[in-house]
C-alpha cells in the first residue's frame, strides 16, 4: 500500500510506540491526535512582526482569543527572543512581560494549557506558580542546569529542544558527522537524565533553525519519523522560519504558504504538536490530514 514518505506503518507503531498520554494540570492529554500550540510573542523584536504583541492588555487579549477560537489547545508565551542577535533581557524583564499574560489566560481562559518558553529556572518557577502548566526550554537544561531540579520540584511537563551553544553562537555550531544519530543520542541521554530527577512527562523538539544549516533542517524534517524511537511526543516548530524564507527567497511575512506545506509534511511524519503563528491555517491543515488519515 502506498504511504506518504516517512509515514509510520503499523509495524513501526508497535516497535516504537509514542508516549500515549501526558499529564498536564491534572488532565491526561491524549496524543492519538496532533495538537496545535499558538505562539504568543511578548517581545518587541520577534523575527515575525505579524505575531509580535506587547504588554497592552487589549492587544494581548485579542491575540489570545484569536488563537483559542481558531483551534489552539496550547498557548506558548515567550518573553525572551531567541532569534540570532536578539537583545539580552533580564529575568525581571522577562517576568514582567510574561506574568500579565499568564494571569489573563488563567482568569479568562482556564481551559487553555499555558506553556512558558524560557530556559531560566526562576522564570519557570514564578510563572508556574502563577498558573502556567508546562515549560518549553530551547536548551533542554544546558543554559540553566537548575531548571531541571526546578521542573522536578514543580512536577510539570517539560519540552526539551535540541540546540548547540546559545542563540548568539548556535549558527557557528553546525558541524555534525551524523546529525540525525547525534540528535537522537542527545535526546536519549537527556530523557535518561530527566528520569533520574523524576521528570517523566517530556516532549522533545528537534530544534529546527537552532544550530542547523538550511540543508540540515530539511534532512531532519525528512527523517522526523525516526524520533518515534524515543517513545516521546514530538513538537515541530517550523512556522515562518528562515528555513522557509531562505529556500523560497521570501520574507517571513510571506511564508504562510510554505509553513502550511511543511506542517502537512510534519504531520505525515508523526508530529504530535505543531507550534504555529497562524492557528487558523494550521487547523485547516490538521483537519485535512485527519481526513486523509482518519
Tell me which residues are annotated as active site: 241, 275
Q: For residue 238, what is its C-alpha cell?
A: 517550523
Name which of 47, 26, 49, 24 is nearest 37 in CA terms: 24
Instruction: Count other Cβ atoms within 10 Å, centred on residue 253.
Output: 12
- Contact call for residues 175 and 216 (beta carbons, < 8 A): no
Q: Strands 35-41 and 74-78: what pairing?
A: parallel
- Contact call for residues 35 and 68 (beta carbons, < 8 A): no
Q: What are phi and psi of 89, to 5 degrees?
A: -130, 150
Name which of 117, 106, 104, 123 is nearest 76 in CA terms: 117
Amino acid at each position: 500500500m502506498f504511504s506518504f514518505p516517512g509515514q509510520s506503518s503499523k509495524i513501526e507503531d508497535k516497535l516504537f510506540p509514542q508516549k500515549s498520554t501526558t499529564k498536564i494540570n491534572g488532565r491526561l492529554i491524549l496524543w492519538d491526535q496532533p495538537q496545535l500550540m499558538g505562539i504568543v510573542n511578548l517581545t518587541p523584536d520577534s523575527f515575525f512582526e505579524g505575531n509580535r504583541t506587547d504588554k497592552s492588555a487589549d492587544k494581548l487579549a485579542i491575540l489570545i482569543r484569536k488563537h483559542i477560537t481558531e483551534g489552539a489547545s496550547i498557548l506558548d508565551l515567550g518573553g525572551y527572543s531567541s532569534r540570532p542577535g536578539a537583545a539580552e533581557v533580564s529575568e525581571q524583564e522577562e517576568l514582567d512581560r510574561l506574568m500579565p499574560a499568564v494571569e489573563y489566560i488563567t482568569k479568562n481562559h482556564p481551559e487553555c494549557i499555558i506553556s512558558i518558553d524560557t530556559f531560566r529556572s526562576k522564570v519557570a518557577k514564578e510563572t508556574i506558580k502563577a498558573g502556567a502548566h508546562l515549560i518549553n526550554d530551547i536548551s533542554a537544561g544546558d543554559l540553566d542546569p537548575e531548571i531541571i531540579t526546578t521542573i522536578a520540584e514543580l512536577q510539570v511537563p517539560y519540552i526539551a529542544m535540541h540546540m548547540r551553544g546559545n542563540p548568539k553562537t548556535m549558527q557557528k555550531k553546525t558541524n555534525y558527522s551524523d546529525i540525525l544519530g547525534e540528535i537522537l543520542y542527545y535526546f536519549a541521554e537527556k530523557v535518561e537524565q530527566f528520569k533520574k530527577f523524576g521528570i517523566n512527562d517530556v516532549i522533545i523538539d528537534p530544534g529546527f533553525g537552532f544550530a542547523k544549516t538550511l540543508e540540515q533542517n530539511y534532512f531532519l524534517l525528512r527523517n522526523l519519523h525516526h524520533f518515534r524511537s524515543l517513545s516521546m511526543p514530538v513538537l515541530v516548530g517550523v512556522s515562518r522560519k528562515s528555513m522557509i524564507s531562505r529556500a523560497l527567497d521570501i520574507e517571513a511575512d510571506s511564508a504562510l504558504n510554505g509553513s502550511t506545506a511543511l506542517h502537512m509534511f510534519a504531520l505525515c511524519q508523526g508530529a504530535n504538536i505543531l507550534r504555529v503563528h497562524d492557528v487558523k491555517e494550521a487547523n485547516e491543515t490538521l483537519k485535512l490530514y485527519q481526513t486523509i488519515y482518519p
